[in-house]
Structure 1
């Protein structure tokens, strides 16, 4: 049996290899047997961590959401005005979505399966929750006009920046850079949200 089989990070190795496979060849090409070959372990070794291909996809999606949520949380924690922090979380989402397009598609597909785990569903709400909390905090501080539901505002913002990412990965920005498209979208969103002068000072 190969030395790699005994390595304590086999699970992480398999997830990394699975993500590369998805990015390179799509979800349909993902195979536990091929991952075992790529990791230089026996074909039965992955079963110690993933009982079947579906369990692997669930773990891959959960890992993706956790990474995205960390990026969003870090962006939301950026020091500065609401304007700057909002731009940071928008940029964090678009960057992750563009850099991990195939993975993001898998994440949302698996999340919406009828038998998706509670942990996966909860993790799938994390990026939107970061925006909701940031907007609610800004409303309480007077940096954003109060009155509008922060969840509704965050949903519109999420849909908008996700749209930028989708256009970028589909090569539909007609020469406009991702950064420029993101900035233009955020400018419109900030006006719609009702950013006060306090938020920009």
Structure 2
């Protein structure tokens, strides 16, 4: 039975089905035809919204960056350390988006909307480390940005892939809560991070 959707509703439904597919079976299992079947629409309907599989995944990744940027801003309002915690919490809450956002081989990486959304994400990070540099807490903002991103992205990836538990790291550090572990790890790199990060302006990507 064919379903009837308003134009925007079908787009939303296809993005939601993408999240379900990625979370349940992985990015490789996403196809426009299977999503159309799951949505109960013609196999050509998804192309009217996204053009191609890469277009669909790029729109999904763009959405992920916009959500992440907002979460990072909320964390930055408290401190730069909480920006890192917000990154890990986003990955935990949105594992499908997190998996696709950095899967460049599946994306149209020069898509203007995707580029702009990604710049928002890294703009918050850059503003935070530049604020630390201005306060004399780090001497090299670019290196601090890469170090901070590597820390939280790596921690999130270890947690989502099960390696954090498999390697017994949680038992070693005696910290069962991922947010608390992220906060503890980030504080080793940047200190307590009690200073709120400045509002992110438009910046070049890291």
Query: 1:40 and 1:110 mapped to 2: Cα distance?
Result: 29
Query: Kindly tell me: are residues 8 and 56 of structure 1, through their superposed partners in 2, closer, same or farther at Cα, counting changes over 3 Å?
Result: closer
Query: 1:138 and 1:112 mapped to 2: Cα distance?
Result: 35
1:118 deviates by 3.8
Query: 2:108 and 2:63 mapped to 1: Cα distance?
Result: 19
Q: Does 1:116 align with 2:116?
A: no
Aligned twin of 2:73? 73
Query: Kindly tell me: are residues 74 and 170 of structure 1, through their superposed partners in 2, closer, same or farther at Cα, counting changes over 3 Å?
Result: same
Structure 1's unaligned 5+ residue stretches are 79-84
Aligned twin of 1:81? none
> Secondary structure at 1:43's aligned position in 2?
coil
Aligned twin of 1:82? none
Query: Kindly tell me: are residues 167 and 3 of structure 1, through their superposed partners in 2, closer, same or farther at Cα, counting changes over 3 Å?
Result: closer
Aligned twin of 1:5? 5
Query: Kindly tell me: are residues 158 and 32 of structure 1, through their superposed partners in 2, closer, same or farther at Cα, counting changes over 3 Å?
Result: same
Q: 2:83 aligns with which of 77, 89, 96?
A: 89
TM-score by length of 1: 0.79
TM-score by length of 2: 0.77
**Counterpart contact for 1:68–1:96, Cα < 8 Å:** yes
Higher relative contact order (CA 8 A, sep 6+): 2
Aligned twin of 2:204? none
Query: 2:9 and 2:113 mapped to 1: Cα distance?
Result: 22
* CA-to-aligned-CA distance 1:30-52 (integer Å, 9 cap, x gap): 12122112222222221210112
Q: Does 1:152 align with 2:143?
A: yes
> Secondary structure at 1:148's aligned position in 2?
coil
Query: 1:105 and 1:158 mapped to 2: Cα distance?
Result: 16
Structure 2's unaligned 5+ residue stretches are 197-206
**Counterpart contact for 1:61–1:110, Cα < 8 Å:** no
* CA-to-aligned-CA distance 1:138-192 (integer Å, 9 cap, x gap): 444xxx316613232122111111121122123233234213321221221123x
Between stretches 103-112 and 40-49, larger displacement belongs to 103-112
**Counterpart contact for 2:57–2:106, Cα < 8 Å:** no
